[in-house]
Each structure stands twice: as C-alpha cells, then as structure tokens.
Amino acid sequence: MAAVNGPFERAGRALLERADVEVGGERPWDIQVHDERLYRRVLTQGTLGLGDAYMDGWWACDALDQFFDRVQRAELSRYVRVTPPALVGRAVNALVNLQRGARALLVGERHYDLGNDLYEAMLDERMTYSCGYWRDAKDLDEAQEAKLDLACRKLGIDAGMRVLDIGCGWGSFAALAAERYKAAVTGVTVSREQAAYAQERYKGWPIDVRLEDYRDLDAARERFDRVVSIGMFEHVGHRNHRRFMEVAHAMLDEGGLLLLHTIGRDRSSVGIDPWIARHIFPNSALPSMAQITRAAEDLFVVEDVHNFGHDYDPTLMAWHANVERAWDELSDRYEERFHRMWRYYLLSCAGSFRARKLQLWQIVLSKDRGVDGGYEPVR
C-alpha cells in the first residue's frame, strides 16, 4: 500500500506546502493524517474526496477554518487536474435543469427540514439562516438584527406596505418588517419545517407564510410594494435566473423595489462544489454578478450593490460555536458522522469567505424605469 500511495503522498504534501500546511505539524491549520489512502483519494476525487475523507476520520485539523483559508488563498485547485466527480457535476448542471419540479423541493427536504432543534441551537433568536451584518454588532443576535433592519431600510419599507419574501425561512425578516415597520408580509418557502414553524410562531401577526415554490406565485391574484429574497437565490440555478426575475417583476407594483441577498462568486459557472452539492445543498449553484445582471436585463435597474461577504466569516464561526456548545444535547438525535460533516461545512465555508473566494451581495433593483431622482444607498 505504501508503494502505491507513494507518488500520491509526495504530490499531496507538495501541494500543501504551497499553502504552508504541514502534515503532522503543530500549528492549528496543520493536518494529521490517520489513513495514508487520503492522498490518492483527494488527488483523484478532489474536494469530494477531501470532505468525505474527513467525515470518515481519515484526517483531522484543529482549525479547519484556518486550513481552508490558507488552501483557498494559495489557489491549490489550479495545480490539480479536474477530477471525474467535478466533470460529472459540470455536465449534469449544464445539461439538466436541476431546480425544476420535484428537484426544486429537494433542498428543502434534505437540508432545511433536517430538524428545527439543530437550527434553534445554531442560529440567533430570530432563526436567521443567512449572513449577519457585523459593522456595529457585538454578537450574532445583533448582527442578524442589523442585517434584517438594513434590508428593510434599503427597501424603504413603511407602514401598510405589502411585502413578498421569496424564500422566507423561519420568518425572521417577515417578523422584523411587521413588528418594526408595520408591513404586511407574505412569505414562501419549499421547506415544510420552516413553514410550520413560522405559521405557529407568528400566528395572529400580519404574516402569511406558505409552502409554495416561487414559480407558483400568481400576479393576477396579488401584487406587492416590495419583494425581498434573502439567502434563496443560491438555489435557483442558472437555467432559472431569468424566470426568478420575471416572477419578481410581475409580483411588484409599479415603482416597486426588489432586494436580492445572495452568496456569489467572481466567475460565472453552472455548478457548485461537489461535496457541498452531495451533502449540504443539493441542486444548488452560486451565481456570478454577470449572471444576475443578465437575468435582470429589461426588467430591473440595478440601483445599488453592497458586498459584505467578509461578514459571513464571523457568522459561520458563531454558528459553529453554537453547535459545538449544544452538541451534547443534539447527539441524542444526530450521529457523530453528521457532526463531522456539519463542522466541515461551517468551517470550510468560513475559510472560503475569509479568503474572499466567496462573496455576499445585497443588490437593490427597481422595476422598469428606475427610482426617480436616483436611489440613495443605505449602509
């Protein structure tokens, strides 16, 4: 076995040296290899092999976030051949609409319906599963409150306005907009657990949460003054970007505004990391700015773009700390392999945002002609 793995080990160690990561080292970002087959698995399967090997206990690292920050900054993927899992993923994403019909509901079933107990332990008091705004915040609750309020102020929400929240989650934005700005909010989600939770928690509020795909919204039945979508566009897919914009445009009254809050990347693509696609967000795809603006052509004027992707790093680290603190209670329901998977997910993403390989955009778009006199950016 050692002879078989020799060339792979030499290549793997050489790659890690580019990121100043040492096998068997003592620094937090150094890795400990528990199974020598790791090198072959990673070099033939790429990020899918790396993540699965971690879940299998083949390697360990005291600070995965620091490891991934270094790996991303060193751009190690440039020195590795495209692996079969990545090629297959690209081909499927290019040829098949993975976010249509029953496939569009899969992310709700496999991720957002995992269990409200997990998300209650991990998230803030309002149950907000998207990037916080940390400019003046001291903790996760304040960062999420600031983000939700920022979105309301960017949209100019006022008393009596009708607001549509596409991908409303557990209702955090709807609750703040209704409570603080006296708006009436309709939210749609493809997660049964999220819909049931929000319907129960906000019973009697001017909030209507539905289990409904955004493509089933009917502009002939209802229209809105504002549309917001926070942390949902990542599940739309490149084949459906235009359809999303058409739905948002149709649902808005004249003079309406859309706020799109989404993770994005700097290069246009049609897929997502194979490990994330398999274990965390099935059938998801991160958009580029070019893909977003192309989808909005002739429908919206882009009024404002705000990138605070660096704020996802402390958000993810706070979520990870919350899960670790609650793990003794969560372990009765979730296995240790899930624990390793969830840790890897949160910390690898934190490292990617820290390295600025992923972005977080809040984009304000106005319907048709644009805001008369110009839009005043809010920060």
pLDDT in tens, 257-280: 999 999 999 999 877 899 999 999
Q: Report the predicted TM-score, pTM, of the whole model to 2 decimal places.
A: 0.93
Residue 379 lies in a domain: no
Same domain, 346 and 297: yes
Whether 1 shows a pLDDT value over 50: the answer reads no
Same domain, 70 and 107: no
Whether 15 shows a pLDDT value over 60: the answer reads yes
Same domain, 73 and 106: no
Residue 295, strand partner residues: none
Whether 336 shows a pLDDT value over 50: the answer reads yes
**Percent of the residues in the chain that have a pLDDT greater than 90, as a whole number:** 86
Average pLDDT for residues 151-156, to the nearest whole number?
Answer: 98
Residue 94 lies in a domain: no
Whether 30 shows a pLDDT value over 60: the answer reads yes
Query: Where is the domain boundary, 47, 81, 115?
Result: 81
Residue 257, strand partner residues: 226, 366
Same domain, 41 and 179: no
Same domain, 152 and 227: yes
Average pLDDT for residues 207-224, to the nearest whole number?
Answer: 97
Same domain, 161 and 272: yes
Burial class (CB in 10 A: 0-12, 13-18, 19+), 322: middle
Q: What is the pLDDT of residue 344?
A: 98
Packing angle of the helix pair 84-95, 38-45 (nearest 10 deg)? 30
Same domain, 56 and 6: yes
Q: What is the pLDDT of residue 85?
A: 59
Residue 41 lies in a domain: yes
| pLDDT band per the 50, 70, 90 thresholds, residue 162 | very high
Same domain, 298 and 159: yes
Write the Ramachandran bin of 245: left for phi over 0, alpha for psi from -120 to 50, otherwise beta.
alpha
3 state DSSP class of 160: coil
Q: What is the pLDDT of residue 214?
A: 97
Which residue in 131, 152, 168, 349 is the catalytic one? 349
Strand 252-264 relative to strand 359-367, pairing: antiparallel
The string of pLDDT tens digits covering residues 80-121 is: 766 555 555 555 455 445 545 655 567 778 899 999 999 999
Q: What is the pLDDT of residue 107?
A: 72
DSSP secondary structure letter of residue 25? -
Please indicate whether residue 349 is annotated as part of the active site: yes
Mean pLDDT of the chain: 93
Query: Where is the domain boundary, 81, 115, 150?
Result: 81
The larger pLDDT score, comparing residue 233 to residue 90, is at 233
Order across the sheet with 252-264: list the strands. Answer: 207-211, 184-189, 162-166, 224-230, 252-264, 359-367, 300-307
| pLDDT band per the 50, 70, 90 thresholds, residue 283 | confident
The larger pLDDT score, comparing residue 200 to residue 77, is at 200
Whether 29 shows a pLDDT value over 80: the answer reads yes
Same domain, 181 and 284: yes
The string of pLDDT tens digits covering residues 344-357 is: 999 999 999 999 99
3 state DSSP class of 57: coil
Cα 167 to Cα 74, 108, 113, 121: the distances in Å are 35, 10, 14, 21
Decide: 138 and 199 in contact? Cβ < 8 Å: no
| Cα–Cα distance for residue pair 326/277, rounded to 1 Å | 26
Contacts 24+ apart (CB under 8 A), 26-29: 28/61, 28/62, 28/63, 28/66, 29/61, 29/62, 29/63, 29/66, 29/67, 29/69, 29/70
Could you list the residue range(s) of the whole structural domain that residue 16 is in?
A: 2-81
Same domain, 200 and 276: yes
Q: Which residues contact 192 (CB under 8 A, 6 or more apart)?
A: 108, 109, 113, 211
Same domain, 112 and 26: no
Domains in the chain, number: 2
| Cα–Cα distance for residue pair 137/52, rounded to 1 Å | 35
